[in-house]
Every structure is written in structure tokens, then in C-alpha cells.
Chains A and B, each alone.
Chain A
Amino acid sequence: EPEVTQTPSHQVTQMGQEVILRCVPISNHLYFYWYRQILGQKVEFLVSFYNNEISEKSEIFDDQFSVERPDGSNFTLKIRSTKLEDSAMYFCASTEWTSSSGNTIYFGEGSWLTVV
């Protein structure tokens, strides 16, 4: 079964450093998402992306975050200057299409970011 792949699986970075998390969505999918989950807390929406632009973003997704689809397969999340509170598991997700009646969203296995 096709899957969303994410790299790295785990990254440790110093506070203030830039981090790029990479994702390869399922190949025929058109809608892409980033979610995050702080340890012991719920999965939270960060941003959705379609047709090479952000569709929607949450209040968490401030100016230090950015997303990009640099080529036909990768989808990246960049955190410009990491803070301790950015430590979390970051999930990439994709779906083939969307509608008001919903569709299956496929999640990757996550990238665990530790900011020290």
C-alpha cells in the first residue's frame, strides 16, 4: 500500500537553529498537510497546502514556519529559528482530494524533533 514517507525520523537541534523536515506524499495526492504532536498531547493541525500554496494555517504556524514543494515529489516544513517549545513529533499527511463530506487522510510515521 502506498505510504507517506518522512525524513529524518529523529532530529536533535540546538535552540535558534533552522530545521527542515521532509516528506514524500503519496504520488497521486494533491493536498498536503503538516500536523504536530507534543509529547502526551493531542495531534494539532499546522498547515494545509494545495496547488503550490498554503490553503489554511493555524495560529501555531507563525512566521518562523514555512512550507514548500520544491519539486514534484517532496513537501518540506522549515522552522527558521527553533525554540524549546517546538520539540514535538511532526506528521506529514496527504490526501487525493477533499470535499465537504470528507476523505481519508494518510499520515506519515512522523519526524521527532528535539530542541535543546
Chain B
Amino acid sequence: SQKIEQNSEALNIQEGKTATLTCNYTNYSPAYLQWYRQDPGRGPVFLLLIRENEKEKRKERLKVTFDTTLKQSLFHITASQPADSATYLCALEGGGNKLTFGTGTQLKVEL
């Protein structure tokens, strides 16, 4: 069956460092992958979309890579700030334009 894995353990980093979050998937060949941010008690907020024919996408301090051979996406936040603290969700195209989400990785940026 299809499986999407994100680090279930929280990631704690110092302000100014680069945070790197991982999304691995199996039994799946998605046409695209998306990353969302979710704050406690709030809805997911779209950050970036990367398509299967794209290796890398950037938006301001965010960078996403997509390796369809490794079946992995990496999400980077450079020059991290305490305001970046949130849970980050990986979501894959699940067929029929629906999204299949991972469990998310909680990021905490400390001063």
C-alpha cells in the first residue's frame, strides 16, 4: 500500500540555521508533491508545489527538492526564525486531484 513517511520526532534547531525536513514515500509515483505549514488548531497553509519533472523549487527562504528515483523530497528553510516554528506537512497527489498527507514534522526554532 502507499506510504508517506515524515520524521515523527520534532526537529529543534537554533535561529539562523537551516532546517531540513524529509518526506519519503513508497509504492507510489506521484505527479507532484506539495508542502504545507500547519499551526496548532489551524488549517494547512500551502507553501510550495514541485512536479515530478522538477528537481528543485525555491520561494524566498524555502527550497524543496524532489528525487523520484529515491522517492524522497527534502524541504529546507534557510536562516530559520522562531516564527518558522510549526508542523510541516508533505502531501502527494493521490490520484483524482486529491492529496494524501504525511503525518508531519514539528519544527521548533529556538533563540
The minimal Cβ–Cβ distance linking A45 to chain B, given in whole angstroms, is 5
Complex Cα–Cα for A41 and B98 (A): 18
Contact A102 B51 (CB under 8 A): yes
The minimal Cβ–Cβ distance linking B95 to chain A, given in whole angstroms, is 8
A28-58 to B contact mask, C-beta < 8 Å, 1/0? 0001010100000111110010000001101
Q: How many A-B residue pairs have CB under 8 A?
A: 66
Contact A104 B46 (CB under 8 A): yes
Contact B98 A56 (CB under 8 A): yes
Contact-residue size bin, chain A (C-beta under 8 Å from the other chain): 20 to 34
Contact A101 B101 (CB under 8 A): no
A75 in contact (CB, < 8 A): no
Instruction: List residues of chain B with CB within 8 A of the CB of A86.
Output: none
Nearest B-chain residue to A106, judged by Cβ: B46
Nearest B-chain residue to A6, judged by Cβ: B43
Contact A48 B96 (CB under 8 A): yes
Instruction: List residues of chain A with CB within 8 A of the CB of B38.
Output: 43
Complex Cα–Cα for A106 and B93 (A): 15
Binds B, one of A12-20, A66-74, A77-85, A107-115: A107-115
A98 in contact (CB, < 8 A): yes
Contact A104 B49 (CB under 8 A): yes
Within 8 Å by CB of A102, from B41, B93, B104, lies B93
Contact A33 B46 (CB under 8 A): no
Instruction: List residues of chain B with CB within 8 A of the CB of A102.
Output: 31-32, 34, 49, 51, 93
Complex Cα–Cα for A103 and B51 (A): 10
Contact B51 A101 (CB under 8 A): yes
Nearest A-chain residue to B44, judged by Cβ: A107
Q: Which of A1-30 contact B (CB under 8 A)?
A: 4
Nearest first, the 4 closest Cβ-Cβ pairs linking A and B are: A102-B32, A107-B43, A98-B97, A43-B101
Other A-B pairs beyond A43-B101, A48-B97, A103-B49, 14, CB < 8 Å? A4-B43, A31-B97, A41-B103, A42-B89, A42-B101, A43-B44, A43-B99, A48-B98, A56-B97, A89-B41, A95-B97, A107-B46, A110-B42, A110-B43
Interface residues in chain A, defined as those with a beta carbon under 8 Å from any beta carbon in chain B: 4, 31, 33, 35, 41-45, 48, 55-56, 58, 89, 91, 95, 98-110, 112
